[in-house]
Structure 1
């Protein structure tokens, strides 16, 4: 369809097209409900579909089609947004991009929900999973390693491969017989087409150290090298044919931070559905962060400086001008980096800078100490000059690849090396710019800090993270996307959307629509018990109290999960309970998958089973029915503001006249507590109890607010 005939999403949808869309949604639902055995209509799910449809049709605001929907466990969010989203995206000739925070939900969508809906949906659609480059093998590296080429370490001293080896420290130990056999099987499966070359679809685990030697990387796997047939590029080509793309938040935001349209379609061509949306702000913060390991970056540049003269042999006289600019750029950048490193080391030696016991020093109020502004400004400018010098070299090498195919191996290695140097130069440029970014009045400053590397005692790392990312999300996505639907079981904190709205840059009056639907589960049929306890978690006696209380609440229970706020406390309690004769499955003592498998086996075998876990077990853990009937939460999930980011955020709120506890710590604790309690009931027939071993729920004024924000369990105070 020509662009002039495509619908303009900034204009209200016509009544006719709205009617057609609504008819499609109803017809798809009718076909789906008739085809599924034992289908039961869900009132909340149908209401969610209806509200999504209204937002997409522009019924609330045709210029800002954004929905924030908190939908409790059991509503069926994924099937709801597929019913509402796919017909609209297909009618508007847009791509539907579904982004999740966890691999488990991606697998559920690709393996269950989308195949379930596909036969009953009109218009029909194709779907695909988008993964990061590192999830795919590089066919050339796989072939080389299988043949032993990457293991020899016998590079020509004048080769570019040696530079790459020095930069990447590729001194891997010899392959074991088992690894060699696995490589042979992988190569055979890839060659005969039975394996697509992605890590996740290989039937057996692949050791991390082995995978790192064959994974695709940005600097060594590019279309200009003629590697379009490699697994990564084949997967990217398949994405162009897909109508529905499933992706994780990190890959989505990485693409958006670069302007969009790099890996995924441009935002203007997308309807985004952001599931598990409560993670969006933290992932965006990670994307906007920078870490400059100064000594490592300096070594890389110095190594490159020794070998870049070999480019003369490949580019000849035509490349002399570009090489001269490259030499000039290096001659400026290396001294700038040296000066910054020297200045920091001197300040550390004089104790003008004094890191804590973990080797971390946050720059309070975000200001740079010890006159770092001047060397960082030079570093930013010289990094930019070096970036500009690398571009023409890359273009000329690509031309030489066409002209001199006999030198393809050397040219490919040189291109990979240039790409690596460009990546590092961009890190220096962008990191320096963010460290230097001035903070305007009423703007939130970034968190800036210094770290000393625990392994390399001479390494100094400068770190910077934006605290407020809402303006970035508005710039990257909200103002550009065709439509955005954000869903999660936990988007409110203390019964209000305000905390989430501020974190992602939405305003109460910007046209975004909000919806909150409670879970259909029978929460009142389950108990939430708050025992009478002798002390609060801040007491020195609290560890001993846990060792005494936890066994009491495990008595006569068949399937228990005990959640801790720290590994230290968990391991200490595990030691104490094992000394009392208890059998416990403890997080970290085996893989998550292995622990859950053993837990389910014990439950199926009518044996009592106890799982110990920390915060990561409080979210995304699915143990329905008889696999979990007794949930013990040892402590309210208040984050201890010890990380530089948390400290900086609390500092900024306080300096702005706010209350960091009420505005930051309490809402976040409320959200995490709801997530943790959500582990108990996973289906409509589930029941059990929650025991909260934190007397602050009754002794502190904020305790009642935390309880009121929870689902309506039957609360017992004992």
Structure 2
């Protein structure tokens, strides 16, 4: 592709865009971002590795930038554009605003669609069977009787689908669909295949649409789930894709979740036992010459069920005798990923038995699929069996993934996975999570994709890309290109205040200090947001301030949307309004103008390593001779603090103040580094 063709297209699209949008204002930083993306896509930095990591501050307009740069290049090179986000809000913005805005001004033209996971769609056959009272799933998995409200909702869903007034996806239904009802309706991977007569099911209709579009919007979880399975399952093959990963600072955590495994031992054993009792009903649908696969299923179950029980009993006994000691929450992390010796043989046997069962299930599923083609009249019964087999196959995958993570030998100087157990009065669950996922991302995506754009407003930590690079498996010298663009907002016009305070957040008196300080900084203010580090502290302070007569909107007491609507109504009526929120309100919350002029951050966002994953990560850094605080806690706190401060200025005309009630920012040596990484607010330090 001649670069002039591409550049000519980008410039022509920009002209049409600028002329076609009323009040269009050129943004220098946005234009520079488009140009740099174009250089990476054209291979001017590295022809073999077209990867850009771009931190683009709030107000640059990064989504419109990557649409301008990415879509023409992909269309000229016959590639698909996959835009992946971490939040539903950004997905909705892209599909409902940004893509429709750019669409009429772009050449070549393009089509776009939103991709969702299979579980967001109902299975049309299940919906019909349940609506007719057949409840076919209850044959293998005891299903609770539907309540009158569930029955009423089920009837409405079926009627809307039958009359083609509903697309069959959970998100487009105007009211929330009951969780227990949806569990019986949702499509599943193993039992929902187009060759089994499901071409008109909602999921496959949506998937067929994806094959016809040029731009697909997706979330990080679905993208990485597809990549984990090798790509090309729901989305196109990586080699055919330009990936634009917006909100890219979440990628490592989502990849870690995708690589995780959890197995409740007693629950799994009971599920396999229940399935074992129903094998006779499946056998009736198979001919005599098709029994071998089912025999293998039977043999696998006869070995797997005792293996699960033996492992449970061994762990339970060790816990009872005090050989293994769980904490107050019933959690026991295996230090340095080292398992007790007795677990190795038990897990190896479990893995082998599970493999035999999985092969039998696959063979039986294939045979039932052939039966469905030959005997469509038996569709309902065969579908029921396929659904049951699907559920067991998913459980087999759970067992396989868990055993692989627990048994995988850790090479010298390689990061071991976090491994732990969780004990409840009813069960013991084994859990494992990879700590280092960079090699997975390299294998799944970086080394295979046609091109990758990783963008976010917060990718650097302490003014450096190193923390992000290590997390996602990139290097400074691997051909990837790095770009940092500051926000065009007037930060000097906003104030960062750290008042003189009597104690630090580590003091027992800190709750009382917040109760005294927060009202002082709320006085005579309009739209305020107060961010806390924990629900406990937020609720304690809220209760104390309400006792003093303050009116507060507190996260968790109503839906996020309802709280924000009420907050905006009060602000529009020139009434003071105070929102209390935790970490989730520090990211993605958009309150421009008078909706937020007073931001109070109660403490620096240092994460306490309390989860097994965080503890294991800190332990590994220490074992390698590093400093977990400086290498993990500090970079993450810097990134989160920048995000929290980013709630204040959302447009070029916004102003106001940030009050940080944590004296450590000026009293501790590390405070200077955190301050230096923040935007250039005017400062008033106590």
Q: Distance in 2 between matches of 1:558 and 1:211?
A: 42
Q: TM-score, normalised by structure 1?
A: 0.94
Aligned residue for 2:140? 164
Q: TM-score, normalised by structure 2?
A: 0.98
Q: Distance in 2 between matches of 1:142 and 1:330?
A: 30
Aligned residue for 1:155? none
Match of 2:111 among 115, 126, 132: 126
Q: Secondary structure at the match of 1:589?
A: coil
For residue 143 of structure 1, report the CA deviation from its aligned partner: 3.0
Whether the 8 Å CA contact 1:96–1:272 is kept in 2: the answer is yes
Aligned-pair Cα RMSD in Å: 1.4
For residue 203 of structure 1, report the CA deviation from its aligned partner: 2.6
Q: 1:703 to 1:520 in 2, by over 3 A?
A: same
Q: 1:41 to 1:464 in 2, by over 3 A?
A: same
Whether the 8 Å CA contact 1:352–1:370 is kept in 2: the answer is no
Alignment of 1:57-68 (within 5 A): 57-68=42-53
Alignment of 1:557-706 (within 5 A): 557-706=525-674
Match of 1:175 among 148, 170, 192: 148
Q: Secondary structure at the match of 1:315?
A: coil
Deviations 1:670-703 (A, max 9, x none): 0000000000000000001000000000110000
How many positions carry a matched residue from both structures? 686
Q: Distance in 2 between matches of 1:343 and 1:414?
A: 34
Q: Is 1:206 equivalent to 2:158 in the alignment?
A: no
Q: Distance in 2 between matches of 1:138 and 1:684?
A: 47
Q: Distance in 1 between matches of 2:87 and 2:518?
A: 30
Match of 2:73 among 84, 88, 91: 88
Whether the 8 Å CA contact 1:347–1:370 is kept in 2: the answer is no
Q: Secondary structure at the match of 2:144?
A: coil
Whether the 8 Å CA contact 1:163–1:304 is kept in 2: the answer is no
Aligned residue for 2:282? 311
Alignment of 1:213-224 (within 5 A): 213-224=184-195
Deviations 1:389-413 (A, max 9, x none): 2111111111111222222211111
Match of 2:9 among 21, 24, 35: 24
Aligned residue for 1:470? 438
Alignment of 1:469-548 (within 5 A): 469-548=437-516
For residue 198 of structure 1, report the CA deviation from its aligned partner: 1.6
Aligned residue for 2:377? 406
Deviations 1:34-59 (A, max 9, x none): 10111110000000000000000000
Aligned residue for 2:395? 424
Q: Secondary structure at the match of 1:246?
A: strand
Match of 2:419 among 436, 442, 448: 448
Deviations 1:309-351 (A, max 9, x none): 3333211211122222222222222222121111111111111
Q: Distance in 1 between matches of 2:381 and 2:351?
A: 31
Aligned residue for 2:312? 341
Match of 2:338 among 351, 367, 370: 367
For residue 370 of structure 1, report the CA deviation from its aligned partner: 4.8
Q: Distance in 2 between matches of 1:163 and 1:363?
A: 39
Deviations 1:58-99 (A, max 9, x none): 000000000000000000000000000000000110000000
Aligned residue for 1:460? 428
Q: Distance in 1 between matches of 2:359 and 2:134?
A: 34
Q: Which runs of 5+ in 1 are unaligned?
A: 1-13, 151-159
Q: 1:52 to 1:640 in 2, by over 3 A?
A: same
Query: 490-499 vs 208-217, which deviates more?
Result: 208-217
Deviations 1:151-194 (A, max 9, x none): xxxxxxxxx7444323xxx2144222xx5554444333323333
Whether the 8 Å CA contact 1:219–1:417 is kept in 2: the answer is no
Query: 188-197 vs 503-512, which deviates more?
Result: 188-197
For residue 220 of structure 1, report the CA deviation from its aligned partner: 4.4
For residue 436 of structure 1, report the CA deviation from its aligned partner: 0.8
